[in-house]
Structure 1
Amino acid sequence: MVETRGWTLALIVLVALLVGSIVYVGSYRPERMYPGDLRGEMVVGGLKRTYIAHFPPNFSKDEHLPLLIALHGGGGTGFDMERLTRGGLNTIADRERFIVVYPDGVGRHWNDGRNLSRYRAQREDIDDVAFISALIDLFVQKSDVNGSRVYVTGMSNGGLMTYRLACEIPERLAAVAIVGVSMSENLYDNCSSKVPIPILIILGTDDPIVPWNGGELRFGPVKLGRVVSIENTVEYWAARNGCTVRHEREYLPNADPEDGTRVWVERYSNCSNGVDVILYGVEGGGHTWPGGYLYLPRSVIGKTSRDIDANEVIWKFFSNHP
């Protein structure tokens, strides 16, 4: 009986977790809007698409602010992405003056190119690239954001979608940042554009879903597509960006010795058009957002590093690429 209950709970967690699910099993609460948030919707490709937009205080179109689009993980929503970051991107947006948009994937997933039949977004080949492009157009036209300062970040399934955007519409993006995943094999072999783009990647060495050295994405027996190693991922972007200098790995201060992680940074520089490539390796880190909300038990998704705040790291990177 104990084993049966344990297996049932494991199945519930499995359904919740598929590819970085940001579903709060057992502790889910109704969505509460953050100060400065507005809900919006638009029709793209005949589908109603929804999003949350966060505006800094006393917003004025005359400021021509930057735009940051943050993509949730599989099974999540835009609001879940806000909560994963503990509202940290909003806090920085209020301080540094930019707009954050948290879009919702169809069926809580993004069509990131893995072609998985289990998810509607991928099974029906939903055009999420067109959706993100339409979002950019909307905020350029209606909020007068600076079209040359559009950034995208994403976690897990949202990170895979961010890679896809960097492959298909890099000319619309100033820089991208990916957390919790390397590049899918499908995209690695079929990245359509060679336009240089600054890219930051953060990945845990002990991620139980995403293998550091590449292979099958999986949770338990469920296979979720394949990724290349993080080394191949970074080397691909370094080569595409024309980077000729690889700096020595630098360990950052162990700000929280109790979290069981250490963070190091590898940087590639002397790249085309002033772009660069940066990898943050989180030794001991799991399928988590450093400094973020622990959305599932540590025994399921691994450790969350408190040595860095991914929100601050990502915006600092973006702000260096105006």
Structure 2
Amino acid sequence: MSTSSATRFLLFLFLLSPFLARVPRALAQPGPQASHPSRRERRKGANADDLKREIKVGGTTRSYLLYVPRAQTRNHPAPLLLVFHGGGGHDYNMPRFTGFDRLADSRRFIVAYPESVNTHWNDTRALSRADDVAFVRALIADLERSYPVDPARVYATGISNGGFFSQRLACDLSPQIAAVASVAATMPETLVPVCHPSNPVSILFVQGTNDPLVHIEGGNVARTHGRNISLADATQFWIDHNQTVKKPDSSDLPSHDSNGTSVHRDIYSGGKQDTEVVVYTIRGGGHTWPGGPQYFPAILVGKTNHDINATEVIWDFFSHHARQECSLNPTVCDAMEHPAM
């Protein structure tokens, strides 16, 4: 293995979470463990207003960070955004890295940052054997019992392993998830043959052409972490499932970034239940979060584009998509999410 390849492999195993590089080491330590599922505690490294919650899933204690906007009231249903960390990362890395808490205050949505088992999500690539889909289902139910969550507006996003897992949620929880956004991730090869969503799901991809870990043309993910399909194939999968238009509305966005990166956008609209598939291709971009920090040197992870802010782009996309059957008939949501036993 070459020195460059070895460096990237170790980076994936131990440092892939983009978030640790910008968080002081002292803040990256796990916070105190709650002794009861209903107990809430602050988590070190997260923002001051992020609270930790724990739930039991199949006999295992799972946890997540929660941010509820200060102005949120129980009389006004709010969207719920699930934000998944990358491989090797933790829940407490994500609030500061993405800035979703700040946006939640102005746009009035609730944010949950789930924590994986052993720092990896089970996106079907055999990185984890945890039943993470059951965890997410239980997490949504937990929040619906405690907060005014709008069941028609539940969304999932993540970077890298978190982005791959968000794709799995679009496959396995399409009756609950209205839209998904994946950054620096396409779809795992192992997910495609088992992905049979029962509902249409709006999909957003943000992918760099020079990502050294998740290749835009598909292939091995960091050499030993399974394989991903190409961005084109992942896009086509959701075009076919949602039955959108075949020819996109394409545009090159204004470019002011001095590092030579730029953004091309393709919008495939007109899908079932008003779904869309939207692709932001970051020309020259790496394994990064556009608008975020250059958390490692570009020689290791590639360049970060600042012509767009992925956090804002993702929420703008989500805000235009709700589960249509829930919006028209809330009792349908109740029946789907709380089936008779």
Q: Tell me if the contact between 2:261 and 2:303 (Cα under 8 Å) persists in the aligned partners.
A: yes
- Equivalent residue runs for 1:279-298 within 5 Å: 279-298=279-298
Residue aligning to 1:101 = 112
Report the CA distance shift for 1:298/1:66 in structure 2 as closer, same or farther (over 3 A). Answer: same
- The offset of 1:28, in angstroms, is 2.9
Residue aligning to 1:63 = 76
Q: 2:14 aligns with which of 13, 16, 19?
A: 16
Q: 1:111 aligns with which of 122, 126, 131?
A: 122
Aligned equivalents of 1:7, 1:266: Cα separation in 2: 32
Deviations 1:294-317 (A, max 9, x none): 332222111011010001000000
- The offset of 1:259, in angstroms, is 2.6
Report the CA distance shift for 1:141/1:303 in structure 2 as closer, same or farther (over 3 A). Answer: same
Aligned equivalents of 2:5, 2:209: Cα separation in 1: 27
Q: Tell me if the contact between 1:84 and 1:294 (Cα under 8 Å) persists in the aligned partners.
A: no
Q: TM-score, structure 1 length as denominator?
A: 0.89
When structure 1 is superposed on structure 2, of 8-17 and 246-255 the one drifting more is 8-17
Report the CA distance shift for 1:270/1:35 in structure 2 as closer, same or farther (over 3 A). Answer: same
Aligned equivalents of 1:48, 1:158: Cα separation in 2: 20
Aligned equivalents of 1:135, 1:236: Cα separation in 2: 28
Deviations 1:264-322 (A, max 9, x none): 10111121111010000000000000011333222211101101000100000010013
Q: 2:161 aligns with which of 148, 157, 174?
A: 157
Q: Does 1:34 align with 2:47?
A: yes
Q: 1:209 aligns with which of 204, 210, 213?
A: 213
SS at match of 2:227: strand
Q: Tell me if the contact between 2:23 and 2:45 (Cα under 8 Å) persists in the aligned partners.
A: no
Aligned equivalents of 2:152, 2:270: Cα separation in 1: 22
| 2:202 maps to amino acid | P
**Structure 1 unaligned runs (5+)?**
117-121
Aligned equivalents of 1:252, 1:135: Cα separation in 2: 37
- The offset of 1:232, in angstroms, is 0.4
- The offset of 1:246, in angstroms, is 1.9
RMSD: 2.3
Aligned equivalents of 1:243, 1:37: Cα separation in 2: 38
Residue aligning to 2:148 = 144
| 1:111 maps to amino acid | N
Q: 2:200 aligns with which of 196, 212, 231?
A: 196
- The offset of 1:25, in angstroms, is 8.9
Report the CA distance shift for 1:173/1:95 in structure 2 as closer, same or farther (over 3 A). Answer: same
Residue aligning to 2:312 = 312
- The offset of 1:9, in angstroms, is 7.4
Q: Which runs of 4+ in 1 moved over 4 A?
A: 6-12
Residue aligning to 1:178 = 182
Deviations 1:135-191 (A, max 9, x none): 110111111211111111011000111010100011101111110011111111210
Q: TM-score, structure 2 length as denominator?
A: 0.84
Q: Tell me if the contact between 1:25 and 1:296 (Cα under 8 Å) persists in the aligned partners.
A: no
Aligned equivalents of 1:69, 1:26: Cα separation in 2: 21
SS at match of 1:316: helix
Q: Tell me if the contact between 2:253 and 2:263 (Cα under 8 Å) persists in the aligned partners.
A: yes
Q: Tell me if the contact between 1:74 and 1:108 (Cα under 8 Å) persists in the aligned partners.
A: yes
- The offset of 1:81, in angstroms, is 1.6
Residue aligning to 2:300 = 300
Deviations 1:52-71 (A, max 9, x none): 10111133221111100000
Aligned equivalents of 2:292, 2:23: Cα separation in 1: 18
SS at match of 1:147: strand
Residue aligning to 1:234 = 235
Aligned equivalents of 2:60, 2:189: Cα separation in 1: 29
Deviations 1:31-60 (A, max 9, x none): 333143111111111111111101111332
- The offset of 1:22, in angstroms, is 4.2
Aligned identity (percent) is 39
Q: Tell me if the contact between 1:67 and 1:98 (Cα under 8 Å) persists in the aligned partners.
A: yes
**Structure 2 unaligned runs (5+)?**
28-43, 323-341
Residue aligning to 1:223 = 224
Residue aligning to 2:138 = 134
Aligned equivalents of 2:148, 2:5: Cα separation in 1: 52
Aligned equivalents of 2:277, 2:229: Cα separation in 1: 17
- The offset of 1:27, in angstroms, is 5.3
Residue aligning to 1:49 = 62
Report the CA distance shift for 1:285/1:272 in structure 2 as closer, same or farther (over 3 A). Answer: same
- The offset of 1:255, in angstroms, is 3.0
- The offset of 1:132, in angstroms, is 0.5
